[in-house]
Amino acid sequence: MTPDTARWWLEVASSGRRRHSNIGHARPIVLALVLVLALLTLSYKTPVTKEPRDILAYTVRIFAKEEGVVRPFGTGTVIGHATYEVGGDRVTHSLVLTNEHVVRGREEITTYSRGVPFGGTVVSVDPDRDLALVEVRGTLPKAPLYFGPLEPGEREVIVGDPFGHGLLITEGFVGNAISGVRAGSASAYPGNSGGGLYVDRADRYVLAGVVGTIQKYPNGLFSVSLASTVHFAVPMEKVREFLREHGVLAEE
């Protein structure tokens, strides 16, 4: 073998060692990347719920005149529609569920859905259940209803118009049923009355109660300070009874 040939073989062997050395250094990095990708793949779950903000589409703010001044009184949830024939045309109105104490003494109100005003008329009230139904002159999205059981400790979200400053969603956990109302840990304030309590079922949030910041008990009224740290809601069993008594077909 000539000196030039020997030199060539030495250069090939040296370059091979460098390549193997580089591969050896790169292998831990490659393995680490593969491990990270595997962990991300295993931990990823396809979202099964919509965003809580989606429930805002079903929610209206309720305003009415008091002593000549229009001011906010609470919140409501669109739970159905009513269709009429007017002059040969079909007109669809929305049915809004709220608390009776929100609309007490008022027949004509104004609701706001995403900042757009819609006139409304109180069509049914039930002071004992603290429920009322308002017919709104407009077609608004309807909330999915849920009449099944709730488990204490499961996650909940509620929506309302606290102090009339705009819709706000708060989160908490479902509590026990107490004296015919459902307790929960999501914060509620004056203005939240009539708003919806929602839980996650399958791939969407469903209406599971009507929030009332003040509930009547034999020993009087809970104070606002207590009602701000917890909430009490009319359960859907009472909602279904109320709707059936007033000729509204309640569908989940």
**Token output for 207:** 């209406």
Per-residue DSSP letters for 39-74? HHHHH-----S--GGGGGGGEEEEEEEETTEEEEEE
Which two tokens mark 8?
A: 């060539």
Measured distance CA(62)–CA(194) in Å, rounded: 9
Measured between alpha carbons, how far is 117 from 136 in angstroms, rounded to an integer? 10
Question: Do 112 and 72 form a contact (C-beta atoms < 8 A)?
Answer: no
Q: How many CB atoms lie within 10 A of CB 114?
A: 12
pTM of the model: 0.75
Q: How far apart are the first and last CA of the chain?
A: 90
Flag whether pLDDT at 150 surpasses 80. Answer: yes
- The amino acid present at 144, given as its one-letter code, is P
Task: Please state, in angstroms and rounded to a whole number, the distance separating the CA atoms of residues 147 and 206.
Answer: 9
Which residue is associated with the tokens 């109320």? 242
Output 139 or 221, whichever has higher pLDDT. Answer: 139
**What is the rounded average pLDDT for all residues in the chain?**
80
What domains sit in the chain, N to C, each tagged with a CATH number?
Answer: 52-245 (2.40.10.120)
When comparing pLDDT for 8 and 96, which is higher?
Answer: 96
What is the rounded distance in angstroms from the CA atom of residue 184 to the CA atom of residue 173?
A: 6
Q: Tell me what pLDDT residue 139 has.
A: 94
In 3D space, the residue among 186, 124, 139 whose CA is nearest the CA of residue 160 turns out to be 186
User: Closest Cα to residue 158, out of 140, 184, 190?
Assistant: 184
Separation between Cα atoms, residue 24 and residue 66, nearest integer Å: 80
pLDDT classification of 250: cutoffs 50, 70, 90: low
Of 42-46, 166-170, 200-204, where does mean pLDDT reach its minimum?
Answer: 42-46
pLDDT at 40: 37
**What radius of gyration do the chain's Cα atoms show?**
30
